[in-house]
Every structure is written in structure tokens, then in C-alpha cells.
Chains A and B, each alone.
Chain A
Amino acid sequence: MTKDQSTPPLIVPTDQGLYCAAGDFHIDPWRPVPRAVLTHAHADHARTGSQRYFAQADGVPLLRHRLGNQDFEPLDYGERRRFGAVRVSLHSAGHVLGSSQVRVEHDDGRVWVFTGDFKRDADPTCAPFEVVPCDTLITEATFALPCYRWPPVERVGERIHHWWSAHPDRPCVLFTYALGKAQRVLAALTAHTDRTVHLHGAMVPLTELYRRAGVTMLPTEPVSALPRGHDFSGALILAPPSAAGSPWMRRFKNASTGFASGWMRIRGNRRRRGYDYGFELSDHADWPALLRTVRDCGARTVLTTHGRSDELVRYLREVEGVDARALSTLYGGEDD
């Protein structure tokens, strides 16, 4: 499977995005291209304008919601598709519903895997991460510092429920990303209660798509379905972080606020953003999971995309003895 140094890399960053010349397709391109393989529906990975999109079937309804009516070709996890000199397959990344890693196998035997965004923690709203053996792993590095180690998700669910229960006289507004995190919170809370949760408008259709995919979550009701002046005391409301400080928030008098994100592991992040409570809940791999993934898939070369790339690269080289390098991409990395 090994090739000498002169073999061109299978996947390279270009102005359009990650590109595989041997198969003439892009992965998560940030500019329009003829053929785009998408890992998931978050905005920094899925953009409009390409001619044809390939994505895992569970994620296609979410992509349609986000990108409108494009030419989508749904694939199942593990289904192989030939593009030129390579065979491409998608494998579960455990990040959000329908999220994938992209495996690219060249006819010369080389196997490259791009993780997209991924996590290895339990999440009932999507398929679990699959270890895909490869020669070269292109990995995200959003939380690639050893201070990031997630507590068990059940513990976080308990804490959110405790916060909600402890404020019968105030609305509890929990900020979460609208796609993935909100639904994960709604699923985690089913262990504690069957009460109805109120949703910001941006989350309503996405949550409905998760329900249609068979994900069990608490019952929800749009905030907009309630009359003006409704008293939200004791209610839990989920809203995207962009709603914080907006006029929309005025209806929740005297609210206690929380934010569910991996960034909340650091006290300064919570205090800077002015949230009362921070809940450490991430859809990305933490430090131990990043290292475990590199070891599990047996890659001899690791390329990093967004996040704390420099630190991960140096650690892999110096401590793990793995050939590692940072790629330059436009993926977000901050959103979680």
C-alpha cells in the first residue's frame, strides 16, 4: 500500500476546497464545482452552487432544507462509488444526523480518509463513529488541546435538567446550534422528563426532520405558537446563539441563560459571552478521541484541517511518531 514520495497526494486543498484529482471531485467545497461530496449539512461544509452533490441518505433532507433544491445523490454508509481511478464510500462520523467520513481508495491501493467533523461520544440522534483503517487520515482539530475532554453526555443531560428544574419562576433559555446540538439535547433530556420544550423558529424544521428520521426527543412547541405576553416562567427554550441579545429575547423576562457547547469547558469563554451557565456538550472529538482515532485507523500520515492544527501536528510528530502536517482550509472550527 505504501508509495514513494513522488506519488502526488490523493487529496489536496485548492481554491475550491479539498480536491481529489484521480476521481475529479471535491469534498465540502466552498466554491461551486462539478461534483461535490458532502460530509454533513453545517454551513461551513455545505454550500450551494455545485452541479451535483453526493451525501449520505439520512443527511439529504437536512441538506435540502439548508441548500434548497439541488441535484443530490444519496448514498448509504459503506456503499462504494467509482469516480475515475478511485472508489469513494461514506462512513458514519457520529457528528450529526447523516454526517460522514469520506473514504477514498485509489486503484494503486492507497486509502485516504477525511473525517469531516466527527465525535466518538454516545449520541442517540445519529449513527456512531465508524473506525475506517487508512494510510492517510485528514482530520479536524477543532478541540485539539488536552484541556478538552468531554464529561459523559448523561451527566450533562442531568445538569441541564437540574438547571431547568431549579428555576420554576424564570424562563431557562439554552443556546445551542440549531442543527444537531439542539436535537441531541432534546434526546438526552428524555431520560429525565417528558415535558414540552419551546423552540426558536430556526430549530423547528430541523427538529421536525430529525423526528421524521425516527429520532426520539422531548415534545416541542414553537415559541411563535404562543400568544404575545405568554409567561415563560419555568419553561425551557432552545435558541441559536445568534438570538442572544436580540429583540427576540425580550419576551423571556428575567431569563436564566445557558450555552451548550464544547467551548463551555473553559470558564473564561462562558464569562466572556455572559451566559449564566455553561454546559460542556460538543459534537466534535475531544483530545483523547482525536488521539484514539489516529491510533485506531492506523494512519501513518495525518493531515489536519481546522482548529488547533499546529498543536495536534506537533504532538503527533513528537510524541506519537506519526508523520503529520496542517492543511489550510476554510472550515469554521469555532461553531459547536
Chain B
Amino acid sequence: MQAFAALFAELDATTRTRVKLDAMKDYFEQVGPTDGAWAVYVLTGRRMKRLIGARKLRDWLGEASGLPDWLVEETYQHVGDLAETVSLLMDDGEDRPAVEGSLAEWVEEGVLALRGLDEQDQKARVLAHWRRLPRSACFLYNKLLTGSLRVGVSRGLVERALAELSDRPRALIARRLMGEFEPSADFYRHLLSEERREERDGQPYPFFLASPLESEPPSLGPLTDWQAEWKWDGIRAQLIARPADAEPNQVWLWSRGEEPMAGRFPEVEAAAGALPEVVLDGELVAWKDGVLPFSEMQRRIQRKKVGDKLLREVPVAFLAYDLLEYQGRDWRARPLSERRAALETLIADTDAPALKLSPTVRADDWAALAALRENSRAHRVEGLMLKRADSPYRSGRVRGDWWKWKLDPLTLDAVLLYAQPGHGRRANLYTDYTLAVPDGDSYVPIAKAYSGLTDQEIGQLDRWIRRNTVEKFGPVRSLRPHQVFEIAFEGIQPSSRHKSGIALRFPRIARWRQDLTPDQADSLTQVKELLNAFGS
């Protein structure tokens, strides 16, 4: 753990990619495969199932530190990170000996071994570590205990370090890191080993991610070099179908977040049973004579098991838009035009309503395409995707070949009503805002927003919030209605769960309207008009 703590300190103290890569390579070179596996697990942001709830840890911290619970709570709100709060409050100013034991031992004996113990024993062990570990190790131990450790390295960077270390292609490392894995010495050795044919199985390929279009489309060159598609408002997914010993195919469905979605979309899995051996990229959407609003899809997303009634009410379809593997061959390096042609034939040959082709959108020129895009809301899509016709299927977010050309968001002006401190790098700054609209003499909350201001604006607003607090409810402050913000959002829907009767999709702050007073903000009546115009 000492070595891992040193790695963490190095990664935490630099913003330079090269320094981070070298620090990771040095670390992986000096530790064994078991530690290596756990380090990969932790650095790529995977988390163990939480053994002890945060609430319980805070109670224990109150007891162990001898501080009243409210002060532990205030301190936690100020620090913004529970693991760090523990390490700070358990620091009694005494020098503590360096920590012994490997990372794997700490995970297995310090964390996993707590499973199955009763609460008293769990507490006794955890508190013993808190009282013994030096601050940095205590912080890391608590991070392991509570879940994820954000260290400012992206998953891509970990893949690069491992690729450089093992001299294997990064794409291979990336694929082996997809989905869930058991952090064992065997896994780590396999991760860095040469590729074998049979390892493909149900493992997904890394998704190719589009970037937002930043310039006017004509700057992309002639439209004929591009393929346009609707940008669906659904769940991006990878569908893998491989022949099984008996009919039908074995099918895997992966989300972009690399969650396996087995059993959640049975109609799609059934439809894919009849496909030849393929790997497809596409979007899961609720579909009944056309795409249904995302709120319908949400009813399906929340269910791990789907009943017949919901299956009938909200059927889901997989809209395929790319072909990554066909008949056992990796097609990702071939041009999109070729992949698309094969995909069209493939889907045409299947006759299942749950498996459709995501159509291309054709126009004579950019202006005509822009006009179609303006009509996106009527099609219940978010805008257009622009894909270069001769582009390969790349890994991760690589700019240049795939652009999302989204519709401009809807906006309204709302009043800041409550604020709460953020976490991590925004700890002890008020960055979580509840915005409201006037409704007669009172205000009705309409959205929560966490981003959209510059650091400077955040600082300025934070000072204003501290001076204009009406009341405090724990970490939440209610504020004098004064500040007006323009909020942008992707969609508006009726909702029975919100007091306003309205739910906004992806709300965020677009602008601080210091030129407006609260009475100039949009009223609830005006927001309802927006719902009538755009709600689906």
C-alpha cells in the first residue's frame, strides 16, 4: 500500500500526461500481478460493492473522533469527501509508522474480510485502522472502503500506460478492460499477454464517441463525404450475437457505461437470436409506430425484470447504426460506407420489429440538412449525427470523424432559491443550485443545476450566497430570491413527481442574467406554455 500511496501522491500532484504515464509504468513494474490487478481495478474507477454505508461510517467517525455528530457533518460538508474527512479528523498530530502490507492485502484483509462480520467487529477493525494509519494511507484505505477513487487519470491513460508497459496495442488492452472483471493475478497476466482468438466471446469493443460540432457544418467539406443520421435520445448499446452450440445465438447487450444489460430488453435479445455472428453498435429506444418519448423509455430503464404488461406498453427496439464485427472478422478498420452497406443488407434479412436500421438522413446540401435538423423535436430526436463516410470505427472520443450536431437547447430564466456545497474539487463552494420560477407570490422549484458557470462566477456567487442566506437546513441554504439564471435544457415533460408538474431534461446553467430581476424571470404559466409547445 505504501507504493500505491506514493503513486497516488504523484498522480495527484501533476496535470502532465507524461508524468502520470511514467508514474503508472514505474508502479506497475515494481509490484506483483495481484497488486497490479487491484491497481488497474481502482485506477480505472471500478468500485467494490460497498460493504459499509456512508451513514454508518459517519456515525463511527463521530464516536472515534469524540466530536458531536453535527460537527462531523459540518466538517464533512466543508471537506466534501468522506474518506478525506476521516483521515483529517483521525489525525491527532502524532507521528504514525509507515503502513505495511501490499495493496492486495489491504483490499482483501482490510476491506473484503469485513464481509460477513457483525457490525461490532466491522467497527472494531475499521476504527483500529483509522487510529493506526498515517493520514495519506488512511485516506486511501477509506477510499477503498467507500468505493471509487478519483485520481485524475482517465481510463484511457491507464490503458496507454499498460500498452506501453506490455508493448501490446492499446485497443487490445482497452477491450480486455471492458465490462466487469475479477482483479486477480491471472487477470493481470492475461491483460498484458498476447491476443488469443477465443477471448472475444461476449466482451464488447470500446465505443467510438462523437464530439459536439463546434463550427458550421459547411466547414466539414462537401456533404457527399458525410453520412447523416438522427441523434436518438435513447441508450447507446452494443449488441453481440455469437452462434451457440444449440440455436439460437448467444446474445450480449452492453451499455456505453459497460454495464451488461442481460434480461432487461428481452425482445431485443430474442430478435438477435436469429442474426448471423455480428457485433452491432446502436441505440435502444422505446418504439411503437415510431420512437416514444424518453420518459416512456425511463419506465423500462429502471426495471431489471420486465413484466408482460410493460413489455406490451413500452416495447423497445435496437436501432442499429454500425457494424463492428461480421462473420468472425473485425470490421472496424473498414470505411463506414462499406460497414453501412453490409449492415443494411443484414438488417433487411432479419424480420424482427425489435431490430431496426437507424435510417440515414438525406439532403441535397448543408442548408437542406440544417432545415431537417430544425425539425428534430417533431421526430423526437436530439438533432443529427454527422459521420465521415470513409472513417473507420475508432475507440473512445477521437475528434474529426464523428460529430453530434444537436438542436439548440430550450431555455428559460429562473431564480436561484437554494444552494448546497459541491463535492471533490468543488467542496466548500456552493455549486449545487435549485432554481425556481415565480408562481403568484411564491416560487416553485423547476430544476437543479450543477454546472455551467466559470470558476470565477462560482466564486462570486459563493460569496453572494453566504451573505444572503435566509435559512440553513443542514448543508442546504435557502436564499433571498435575487439572482436570475438562464437555464438550458434538452426537453420538457409533464411529471407527477415534481411540485411544478414539470420535469426538464439535462438542465444546466447557460448564463448568469445579472441584468434581470426575479420579477423578470419566466413564470410557471410561461413554463407551462413551453410544455404545451414542446412537451411530448
Q: Are B71 and A146 in contact (CB under 8 A)?
A: yes
Which of A107-115, A124-132, A225-233, A314-322 sits within the interface?
A: A314-322
Is A266 part of the binding interface, using a Cβ–Cβ cutoff of 8 Å? yes
Which of A95-103, A173-181, A272-280 sits within the interface?
A: A272-280
Chain A residues 145 to 190 lying within 8 A of chain B, measured CB to CB, are: 145-147, 149, 151
**Interchain CA distance A314-B91 in the complex, whole Å:** 22
Q: Are B65 and A146 in contact (CB under 8 A)?
A: yes
In the complex, 21 of the A-B residue pairs with CB atoms within 8 angstroms, ordered by the A residue number, are A145-B71, A146-B75, A146-B88, A147-B78, A149-B93, A266-B80, A266-B427, A267-B81, A268-B423, A268-B426, A269-B427, A271-B152, A271-B424, A272-B425, A272-B429, A276-B13, A277-B13, A288-B93, A311-B74, A314-B71, A315-B71
- Residues of chain B within 8 A (CB-CB) of A277 are 13
Number of A-B contacts (CB under 8 A): 66
**Interchain CA distance A288-B89 in the complex, whole Å:** 12
Of B85, B93, B425, which one neighbours A147 at CB under 8 angstroms?
B85
Interface string of A296-332 (1 = CB under 8 A from B): 0000000000001001001100110000000000000
**Interchain CA distance A59-B81 in the complex, whole Å:** 40
Is A40 part of the binding interface, using a Cβ–Cβ cutoff of 8 Å? no
- Residues of chain B within 8 A (CB-CB) of A288 are 93
Instruction: List chain A positions with a Cβ less than 8 A from chain B.
Output: 145-147, 149, 151, 265-269, 271-272, 274, 276-277, 288, 308, 311, 314-315, 318-319
- Residues of chain A within 8 A (CB-CB) of B152 are 271
Q: Are A268 and B93 in contact (CB under 8 A)?
A: no
Query: Smallest distance from the beta carbon of A300 to chain B beta carbons, Å?
Result: 21
Chain B residues 78 to 96 lying within 8 A of chain A, measured CB to CB, are: 78-81, 84-85, 88-89, 91, 93
- Residues of chain B within 8 A (CB-CB) of A266 are 78-80, 84, 88, 427-428
Q: Are A267 and B84 in contact (CB under 8 A)?
A: yes
**Interchain CA distance A29-B32 in the complex, whole Å:** 63
- Residues of chain A within 8 A (CB-CB) of B93 are 149, 151, 288
Query: Smallest distance from the beta carbon of A243 to chain B beta carbons, Å?
Result: 16
Q: Are B85 and A268 in contact (CB under 8 A)?
A: no
Question: Interface centre among B88, B423, B429, by most A CB within 10 Å?
Answer: B88
Residue of B nearest to A276 (CB): B13
Is B308 part of the binding interface, using a Cβ–Cβ cutoff of 8 Å? no
Interface string of B186-228 (1 = CB under 8 A from A): 0000000000000000000000000000000000000000000
Is B12 part of the binding interface, using a Cβ–Cβ cutoff of 8 Å? yes
Residue of A nearest to B85 (CB): A147
Is B351 part of the binding interface, using a Cβ–Cβ cutoff of 8 Å? no
**Interchain CA distance A320-B78 in the complex, whole Å:** 22
- Residues of chain B within 8 A (CB-CB) of A276 are 13-15
Residues A147 and B79 in contact in the complex (CB < 8 Å), given A267-B84, A319-B68: yes
Is B455 part of the binding interface, using a Cβ–Cβ cutoff of 8 Å? yes
Chain B residues 56 to 80 lying within 8 A of chain A, measured CB to CB, are: 65, 67-68, 70-71, 74-75, 78-80
- Residues of chain A within 8 A (CB-CB) of B425 are 268, 271-272
**Interchain CA distance A268-B78 in the complex, whole Å:** 10
Query: Smallest distance from the beta carbon of B492 to chain A beta carbons, Å?
Result: 33
Residue of A nearest to B83 (CB): A267
Of B80, B84, B91, which one neighbours A149 at CB under 8 angstroms?
B91
- Residues of chain A within 8 A (CB-CB) of B89 are 146-147
**Interchain CA distance A315-B455 in the complex, whole Å:** 32
Query: Smallest distance from the beta carbon of B431 to chain A beta carbons, Å?
Result: 10
Q: Are B15 and A274 in contact (CB under 8 A)?
A: yes
- Residues of chain B within 8 A (CB-CB) of A271 are 12, 152, 424-425
- Residues of chain B within 8 A (CB-CB) of A314 are 70-71
**Interchain CA distance A269-B462 in the complex, whole Å:** 14
- Residues of chain B within 8 A (CB-CB) of A268 are 79-81, 84, 423-428
